[in-house]
Amino acid sequence: MSVEALSRPLPDGAAAGTLAPVSKAAFKRATTETTATKAVLIGIALLFLALVLVLPLVAVFVEAFRKGAGEFLFALNEPDTLAAIRLTLLVAAIAVPCNLIFGVAAAWAIAKFEFKGKAFLTTLIDLPFSVSPVISGLVYVLLFGAGIVLGPWLKSHGIEILFAVPGIVLATIFVTFPFVARELIPLMQDQGTGDEEAAISLGASGWQAFWYVTLPNIKWGLLYGVLLCNARAMGEFGAVSVVSGHIRGLTNTMPLHVEILYNEYNFVAAFAVSTLLAALALVTLVLKSVLEFRYGDEIAATAKH
Amino acid sequence: MSIAAATPARLQFRKPSVIPGFGLTLGFTVLYLTLIVLIPLAGVVWRTTELGWADFWAIATDDRTVSALKVSFGTALLAAAVNVVFGVLVAWVLVRYRFPGRRILDAAVDLPFALPTAVAGIALAAIYAPNGWVGQFLAPLGIKVAFTPLGIVVALIFIGLPFVVRTVQPVMEEIDKEVEEVAATLGANRLQTVARVILPGLAPAVLTGFALAFARAVGEYGSVIFIAGNIPYVSEIAPLLIVIRLEEFHYAGATAIAAIMLVISFAMLFVINLIQAWSRRRYGYVG
């Protein structure tokens, strides 16, 4: 085939030997959309996310400052609000470490060993995610409530669980149960057992192998899990609402306090407390994004939330 | 635990390993799981069986229970369907296009995971109330969102969105460009390529995302109760009815509704596992 046959037909008037100007459109990629389609799709996605995600977040801050910064600060300085903040911090400070220890132990057993019933155990660990928050609270009401054996026995021994802090902690542990474990299990399965086996064969004790070999390998994934666990622990509403008893200043966590204030038509105060929780959510999202961006490889890619 | 401990009897249960701590960690895991999750959940089952079939059936078929379950499942289904459409679109835009602010948008998708549900609930109620930012434009059109079942759908769309996006997004990232190139060289236009080559491959991920969003929406409480209006038989969701029964100290009523919801959510969990097993066989990935 001659070179002439391959060359494009020249437009009228074009000098022989120069290439005809080819518009960019002629080279439209076959594996992407036109610029107009892209713009429309991006526009729809932006509009949808703005309406669904951004607007509620903005609304929290605008409503909180509706009557000025003075009212906002006054609402936050109220003793019941401060008690709610303290209780929320206390509950998270107990629930998160419990689930952290559980998560590490479960991931060690499941990722480092091969045994029967492993898949079933993993499914059981995820169970609390598929239970409605209200039912997560209800199970403890049934367990410790007045009706059955445990309730009266505890009462006669002066131990209060329901409508008191222990109940709130238990319900919070239940709903945040899988967070750390489900983050660590795929990560440690990916990392295999080679590093630990090497450490052990070089004379390290099991504890040393965990502390000096495993922990540095999983630290970012662990932090990621703790971050999500903490956000849920501080923000949990349904489960805690069922077991708390809603005693102001005593068994009210921040989300429950928001509800009480809102139902009293004290909107500025309700939204003021909400700004703290929204700020917690924003900090969580920022840290989460930083971890994903910076240490993406060291966080299990398969468990995206 | 030493290697010597790996007797033939143990071999059947687990493969031998030089790594120590199996007994300790597995023991602790099972104990903690049993105390925190299994025994309390078993309590619901036990309480339900105690109830007797006739009583259980009477509560389950009670008008108010039935309408609450209908509201819960209807709104959750609708919200999950909306989330599938917009979730796939958002995932597509995030994966395929480059535009300023994409990274922030990507991070923002997780907001419903991080924002406490009660906060989302009162914020949505404020926005969609008849005098709210969005509500004031809908009110003249005769559309009432807050304090109607439509408001429940809005809250559930908020809650469920990240489930669809985060399930579809990683699968979309793995799509082989060559498949699209082949489709194009074989004469398919872009719309045909997307509709008949790309989307069918995403089906398991989309289904899983739908099921996860639906399962979460059915049980959702915090974000819904502020915007729903909570009118019995109209906009009262099943989790709220459980709370109401508990507050009336009608434990049997609460337990029966909880048992129905538990059965349904475990069935959902089973369906999700089926989809994933099917997807692994058919498409080679876990959706």
Q: Which residue among B166, B185, B251 sits closest to A305, beta carbon to beta carbon? A: B166
Instruction: Count how many residues are written for chain B.
Output: 287
pLDDT in tens, A71-116: 999 999 999 999 999 999 999 999 999 999 999 999 999 999 999 9
CB atoms within 10 A of CB B63: 9
Q: What is the nearest CA distance from B65 to chain A, expressed in angstroms?
A: 15
Q: Which residue among A45, A105, A278 sits closest to B115, beta carbon to beta carbon? A: A278
Q: What is the nearest CA distance from B49 to chain A, expressed in angstroms?
A: 13
pLDDT in tens, B155-201: 999 999 999 999 999 999 988 888 888 988 998 888 888 888 889 88
* Tokens 């434990």 found at: B251
pLDDT at res. A23: 59
User: Is the CB of A236 less than 8 angstroms away from the CB of B108?
Assistant: no
Q: Which residue among A63, A125, A193 sits closest to B126, beta carbon to beta carbon? A: A63
Q: How many CB pairs under 8 A join A and B?
A: 298
Q: What does the domain layout of chain A look like in residue ranges?
A: 32-64, 69-298
pLDDT at res. B4: 47
**Reported confidence tier of residue B8, pLDDT bands at 50, 70, 90:** low
Q: What is the nearest CA distance from B108 to chain A, expressed in angstroms?
A: 7
User: Is the CB of A31 less than 8 angstroms away from the CB of B177?
Assistant: yes
pLDDT at res. B232: 92
Q: Which residue among A44, A125, A193 sits closest to B17, beta carbon to beta carbon? A: A193
Q: Is the confidence at residue A247, as pLDDT, over 90?
A: no
Q: Which residue among B37, B113, B242 sits closest to A174, beta carbon to beta carbon? A: B37
Name which of A175, A237, A172, A144 is nearest B251 in CA terms: A144
pLDDT at res. A20: 55
The pair of structure tokens assigned to A286 is 């920022």
**Reported confidence tier of residue B133, pLDDT bands at 50, 70, 90:** very high
Buried b (16+ CB within 10 A) or exposed e, B252-281: bbbbbbbbbbbebbeebbeebeebbeebee
pLDDT in tens, A130-179: 899 999 999 999 888 866 667 778 878 888 888 899 999 999 999 999 99
Q: What is the nearest CA distance from B183 to chain A, expressed in angstroms?
A: 9
pLDDT at res. B278: 87
**Reported confidence tier of residue A7, pLDDT bands at 50, 70, 90:** very low
Q: How far apart are CA B139 and CA B137, in angstroms?
A: 6
Chain A interface mutation, best of B105, B122, B263, B266, highest count of A Cβ atoms under 10 Å = B122
**Reported confidence tier of residue A14, pLDDT bands at 50, 70, 90:** very low
Q: How far apart are CA B268 and CA B10, in angstroms?
A: 35
Question: What's the gap between Cα A191 and its chain centre?
Answer: 23
**Reported confidence tier of residue B76, pLDDT bands at 50, 70, 90:** very high
Domains in chain B with CATH codes:
1-51 (no CATH), 53-283 (1.10.3720.10)
Higher pLDDT, B13 or A206: A206
pLDDT at res. B221: 95
Q: Is the confidence at residue B98, as pLDDT, over 60?
A: yes
CA dihedral A221, A226, A228, A234 (to 10 degrees): -170
Q: What is the nearest CA distance from B181 to chain A, expressed in angstroms?
A: 6
Show Cβ contacts of residue A153 under 8 Å, excluding neighbours closer than 6 positions. none
Q: Is the confidence at residue B68, as pLDDT, over 70?
A: yes
Q: Is the confidence at residue A227, as pLDDT, over 80?
A: yes
Q: Nearest chain A Cα to B123, which residue?
A: A56
Buried b (16+ CB within 10 A) or exposed e, A70-102: eebeebbebebbebbbebbeebbebbbebbbeb
pLDDT at res. A22: 57
Q: Is the confidence at residue B287, as pLDDT, over 70?
A: no
pLDDT at res. A6: 46
User: Is the CB of A33 less than 8 angstroms away from the CB of B112?
Assistant: no
CB atoms within 10 A of CB A138: 34
Instruction: Count how many residues are written for chain A.
Output: 305
Higher pLDDT, A8 or A31: A31
pLDDT at res. A18: 53
Name which of B151, B229, B115, B100 is nearest A54 in CA terms: B115
Which chain B residues are closer than 8 Å to A259 by Cβ? Answer: 118, 226
Classify domain A69-298 at the CATH topology level.
MetI-like fold (1.10.3720)
Lowest mean pLDDT among A207-211, A272-276, A296-300, B261-265: A296-300
Chain A interface mutation, best of B13, B98, B115, highest count of A Cβ atoms under 10 Å = B115
Q: Is the confidence at residue A31, as pLDDT, over 90?
A: no
**Reported confidence tier of residue B276, pLDDT bands at 50, 70, 90:** confident
A278 and B CB contact within 8 Å: yes
